[in-house]
């Protein structure tokens, strides 16, 4: 199928949306599907819907759809909770796999929630684990034989810098460490193959490039050969082998279902399931080529017209995710001024203006249209207005 697939999305008139890396737009099919789920399934079937509409099987069914986008075999991915929770579950499992080691290795480009979850887990375990945070370019050298787990986010949320999953996983395994990938900015953004890279765990969210909607459930993958040995830290009833046996003692389900916790968010999951159908005929290599081309075009046009903006993303497209960031001292105000003119990006402290490029619904004309707006804001100092300097709660 040729990209873009604009007609499959609700894209507000007059808006150029370059923030699908934070919250993907609404796929058109979701509205009617959600209506039906509410009206027919919840409204009419009520409790029967767990069986007749297979709400119970939904986390695994949707997990398989996500699995196809990250190279995971059928039955190895499940859905639920939020990414922060899935990070906690995966991380605690990795520490149990390496009881003699105390180091969690991560990098300064990781999203803070992943680091916070590690800090909370360490404090809770009270076994003297250490969170070792190095610069992204130093991760390979920091993989030493005291590392229990490398917990790494493939794409840096601020700069878009990309880690190579295959070589980093191989190095982690060479030193006996477990590899945990966070694919928050990778799934749906570029080709990913967890099977070929051989990592033990992968997690990610689905409201960014997968367009599942605000609060859409997260995914978790565990390598099929190790999943049976995981003792889940969050041992909820839906991760039990027989939830409706109501046994007094926890007994984990056989496969990845043991990483389920409690009742899934059915309506959110339904929105996500519908959104994922968009990917049925998308070739990830085509998507990647289109993404790199859009980002290259954006960099070239911005640099030609906005000398005050400094590129902080890798210039080489093969080293970059599907976003481009520029640093500017007054980045917050500048982004507010750009947004006021219908081009939606976001701001990441302290000075980063971030733009996501999603070839599903962005094309070359959108890039030029966005650059026109940004150049106008920069050239005419439209950002230098008190109304753009008022900080909102969400940036």
Ligand X SMILES: *Cc1c(COP(=O)(O)O)cnc(C)c1O
Token digits for 383? 């950002």
Query: Candidates 100-108, 136-144, 177-185, 336-344 — which segment interacts with ligand X by CB under 6 A?
Result: 177-185
Instruction: Find the shortest distance in angstroms from Cβ 114 to ligand X.
Output: 5
Query: Candidates 123-131, 179-187, 287-295, 380-388 — which segment interacts with ligand X by CB under 6 A?
Result: 179-187
Total H helices, total E strands in the chain: 13, 13
DSSP 118-180: HHHHHHHH-S--EEEEE-GGGHHHH--TTEEEEEEESB-TTT-BB--HHHHHHHHHHTT-EEE
Nearer to ligand X, 4 or 20 (CB): 20
- Please pick, from the candidates 158, 171, 185, 260, the single residue that binds ligand X as defined by CB under 6 A: 185
Residue 28 known to be catalytic: no
> DSSP alpha helices (H): ranges in 175-240?
194-197, 224-227
Residue 95: closest CA among 70, 126, 65: 126
Distance CA 91, CA 110 (A): 14
The answer to whether 190 contacts ligand X (rule: CB under 6 A) is: no
Residue 244 known to be catalytic: no
The answer to whether 111 contacts ligand X (rule: CB under 6 A) is: yes
Contact 207, 216 (CB under 8 A): yes
User: What is the Cβ-side half-sphere exposure of residue 52, based on CA atoms within 13 angstroms?
Assistant: 10
Residue 86 known to be catalytic: no
The answer to whether 256 contacts ligand X (rule: CB under 6 A) is: no
Residue 351: closest CA among 380, 373, 329, 377: 329
Entry field: residues in the chain: 395
Q: What distance lies between CA 380 and its chain's CA centroid?
A: 36
Instruction: Find the shortest distance in angstroms from Cβ 337 to ligand X.
Output: 25
Residue 111 known to be catalytic: yes
Instruction: Find the shortest distance in angstroms from Cβ 112 to ligand X.
Output: 8
Instruction: Find the shortest distance in angstroms from Cβ 184 to ligand X.
Output: 3
CA–CA–CA angle 251, 263, 79 (5° rounding): 85
Site for ligand X in 148-167 (CB under 6 A): 153, 157
Residue 157 known to be catalytic: no
The answer to whether 84 contacts ligand X (rule: CB under 6 A) is: yes
Query: Candidates 82-90, 246-254, 291-299, 309-317 — which segment interacts with ligand X by CB under 6 A?
Result: 82-90
Instruction: Find the shortest distance in angstroms from Cβ 78 to ligand X.
Output: 16
> DSSP alpha helices (H): ranges in the chain?
28-36, 49-52, 58-70, 83-97, 112-125, 139-142, 165-174, 194-197, 224-227, 266-276, 284-305, 331-340, 364-379
Instruction: Find the shortest distance in angstroms from Cβ 97 to ligand X.
Output: 22
Query: Candidates 178-186, 253-261, 310-318, 337-345 — which segment interacts with ligand X by CB under 6 A?
Result: 178-186
Catalytic, out of 158, 328, 354, 388: 354
Site for ligand X in 322-381 (CB under 6 A): none
Catalytic, out of 208, 223, 258, 260: 208
Query: Candidates 107-115, 134-142, 317-325, 333-341 — which segment interacts with ligand X by CB under 6 A?
Result: 107-115
Instruction: Find the shortest distance in angstroms from Cβ 213 to ligand X.
Output: 12
Catalytic, out of 17, 111, 328, 355: 111
Distance CA 63, CA 256 (A): 10
Which parts of this chain interact with ligand X (CB under 6 A)? 82-84, 111, 113-114, 153, 157, 182, 184-185, 205, 218
Where in the sequence numbering do the catalytic residues fall?
Answer: 111, 182, 207-208, 354
């Amino acid at each position: 199928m040729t990209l873009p697939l604009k007609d499959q999305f609700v894209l507000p008139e007059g808006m150029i949306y370059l923030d699908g890396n934070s919250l993907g737009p609404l796929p058109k099919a979701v509205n009617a599907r959600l209506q039906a789920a509410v009206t027919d399934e919840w409204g009419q079937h009520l409790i029967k819907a767990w069986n007749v509409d297979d709400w119970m099987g939904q986390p695994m069914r949707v997990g398989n759809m996500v699995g196809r986008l990250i190279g995971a075999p059928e039955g190895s991915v499940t859905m639920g909770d939020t990414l922060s929770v899935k990070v906690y579950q995966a991380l605690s499992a990795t520490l149990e796999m390496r009881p003699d080691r105390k180091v969690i290795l991560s990098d300064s480009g990781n999203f803070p929630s992943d680091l916070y979850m590690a800090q909370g887990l360490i404090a809770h375990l009270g076994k003297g684990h250490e969170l070792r945070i190095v610069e992204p370019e130093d991760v390979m050298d920091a993989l030493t034989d005291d590392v229990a787990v490398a917990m790494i986010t493939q794409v840096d949320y601020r700069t878009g810098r990309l880690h190579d999953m295959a070589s980093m996983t191989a190095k982690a395994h060479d030193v006996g460490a477990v590899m945990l990938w966070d694919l928050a900015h990778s799934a749906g953004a570029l080709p990913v193959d967890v099977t070929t890279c051989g990592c033990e765990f992968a997690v990610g969210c689905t409201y960014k490039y997968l367009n599942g909607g605000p609060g859409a459930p997260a995914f978790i993958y565990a390598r099929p050969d190790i999943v049976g040995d995981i003792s889940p830290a969050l041992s909820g009833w839906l991760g039990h082998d027989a939830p409706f046996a109501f046994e007094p003692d926890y007994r984990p389900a056989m496969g990845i279902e043991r990483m389920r916790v409690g009742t899934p968010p059915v309506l959110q999951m339904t929105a996500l399931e519908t959104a994922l159908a968009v990917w049925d005929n998308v070739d990830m290599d085509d998507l990647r080529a289109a993404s790199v081309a859009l980002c290259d075009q954006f960099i070239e046009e911005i640099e030609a017209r906005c000398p005050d903006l400094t590129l902080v993303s890798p210039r080489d497209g093969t080293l970059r995710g599907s976003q481009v960031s520029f640093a500017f001292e007054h980045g917050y105000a500048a982004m507010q001024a750009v947004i006021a003119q219908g081009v939606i990006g976001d701001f990441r402290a302290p000075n980063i203006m971030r733009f996501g490029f999603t070839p599903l619904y962005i094309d070359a004309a959108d890039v030029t249209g966005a650059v026109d707006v940004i150049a106008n804001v920069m050239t005419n100092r439209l950002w230098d207005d008190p109304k753009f300097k008022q900080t909102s709660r969400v940036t």
